[in-house]
Structure 1
């Protein structure tokens, strides 16, 4: 059931009139989508760690699930990240830029340094040992999962320049040019690669900002075609997986788009306890994102190397649980002490207007 929601400040309404500048309420389905997405992130890293440790095959169903998730989960996150940007920029363009220091830059540097240090100290136990404490490289080479925060900050800076009250065309054009350039030039460096590949999804998110209130209704209307597409895309992804096609190949774009629509449909249609659970996780997505690798890797090391539990199929749900629950425990403890933002774990959840409550 959709909630009424005004177009974000500075974005034209469907009737062509500019809505008044005001803060947009938090939408429950967006947090549900983030919750689904962050579980997929932890799942992917848990599977990847088990494959790298030789505890799961790179040709089995677990590897296929990794491939399938990677076809769409990060494009999904960038689309969701763009949804509230036009309204935030319209309210205060300068403040929007400064807010990213505390919400993105600080967590990036703090947890990159902590993770590098921990993995260096545990070099004899991890899959990919670190030989040096190369902190300076954080400036241009994000460690592990932190590339997302690095690229998201760049996207926010681009949006500050290109997003305007009367049009989102420049942002979409920039995203389209970057996307075409990515598939022509195929950059190998991490930041240019992800920037050019994923800017279009962030740009689409900014373009959808004024239509957020209508997304649940659209997903409900097309729920059966979306469900059918999700079923049909599975053999398509299996074909790509078995033929060695990268999940970021142009041929896999249908899987990307269908995967995103599938998550959005689930997020807007879920209700009751399921919606509440994923909304709870989505509200704590930052904490889970910055901490989950430490919990997943630490749990795998203890169970596989110390306790000699070598069954990857048994380890997977344990690692998934550790990667989700561990960061939440840290967040809740930090939040009770008022240290959650100082530790770069995200703000305390605020009231949401849940379209699927």
Structure 2
């Protein structure tokens, strides 16, 4: 019998990538000088999603890290991550910077030739691409600890918590660590994903994630935590809505975990009942959407505002999200047909089968 793909993880990635586009479209509208004062609900949703969106990405990535390492071996694991994460990071970031320099009169970004160098040490300055650089670095650092130090998952969670608190402290005292800060901030969530992996991948436990009763029960802490995150951050607007994350870090960790687990439970439920299959499709293409969507969003916003003269925020938001999702998928499908997948990835079709001993999650 042919093994089934873990479709729930694609559902989770599909949900996460929609939330990413929501934020980037909304922020693009704000940065373009378009008034959002009449749309507080839209802005509040943007703040809410920020509570768990990026931790979810790292948790989901951490869930399968041990299995991937056992399957590929350390060397092949690193090579695969370089081909599938680091390569599109540099390729698409260079492309985006170049276009932003050429079209500087029409885009929001303030680019200089220094921006190319910042890809190596300050990826946060290059729009959305910081995440790919952080994911690659966190993944490699994590498997280094597994492969060479034989560190157990619990130790990595403790180390991740220490890293997280260091990142919080450096933020508070205004020390910019560049890309190192992202590693420190998200290593914890990657380790938590690894710790949850043995439970989430176990068929005996999966039934609990799939039940609608569990979704209904978990809905209460999800809503309460989201309300607290929104309300508290709104009391500190000068912090750019980062107050809970950096001044109540332990609460933020709890809120992020509740949000991420709830999305994972929704994903299991959708997988069980084969619902909203287009969401699963988006998850399969989430990486390609991530690297290409900002260019699409900028083009859509410029066309709608400058050519059509439409400045309605809901229209800009809905159109931006829709085309920001669809166009990159179409581009990837077209590239595949033209034997040009190298535009998005250098992933090899060769399957390596190396097995090593990796400590179990204890």
Q: Structure 2-normalised TM-score?
A: 0.83
More displaced 10-residue stretch of structure 1: 62-71 or 223-232? 223-232
Q: Deviations over 1:266-297 (max 9, x none)?
A: 11112556441111111001110000101111
Where structure 2 has 5 or more consecutive residues not aligned to the other structure, the ranges are 350-362
In the alignment, the residues of structure 1 paired with residue 321 and residue 92 of structure 2 have an alpha-carbon distance, to the nearest angstrom, of 20
Which residue in the other structure is 2:168 paired with? 183
Indicate the structure with greater helix content. 2
Q: For residues 75-112 of structure 1, give each alpha carbon's deviation from its aligned partner in whole angstroms, at most 9, with x where no partner exists.
A: 00001111111112123112111112211111011001
2:222 matched to 1:242? no
Query: RMSD across aligned C-alpha pairs, in angstroms?
Result: 2.4
SS of equivalent to 1:128: coil
| 1:108 counterpart = 2:89 | yes
**Among 55, 76, 85, which residue is 2:56 paired with?**
76
The alpha carbon displacement at 1:162 in A equals 1.4
Separation in structure 2 between the aligned mates of residue 319 and residue 204 of structure 1, nearest angstrom? 33
Q: Secondary structure at the match of 2:324?
A: helix
Aligned to 1:18: none
Deviation at 1:171, TM superposition (A): 2.1
2:220 equivalent to 1:228: yes
Q: SS where residue 132 of structure 2 aligns?
A: helix
Partners of 1:128 and 1:346 in 2: how far apart?
Answer: 28
Match of 1:48 among 6, 27, 48: 27
Q: 1:34 aligns with which of 13, 17, 22?
A: 13
- How far apart in 2 are the matches of 1:45 and 1:195? 22
Q: State how far apart, in whole Å, the 2-side matches of 1:319 and 1:190 are.
A: 30
Q: CA deviation at 1:71?
A: 1.2
Q: Which residue of 1 aligns with 2:331?
A: 330
Deviation at 1:144, TM superposition (A): 1.1
Aligned match of 2:113 = 132
Indicate the residue corresponding to 1:149 in structure 2: 132
The alpha carbon displacement at 1:132 in A equals 3.3
SS for the counterpart of 1:309 is: coil
Residues 47 and 316 of structure 1 are in contact (CA less than 8 Å); yes or no, is this contact kept in structure 2? yes
Q: TM-score, normalised by structure 1?
A: 0.84
Distance 1:109 1:40, change over 3 A: same
CA contact (8 A) 1:64 1:241 kept: no
Distance verdict in 2 for CA 1:101–1:254, change over 3 Å: closer
Count residues in correspondence.
Answer: 325
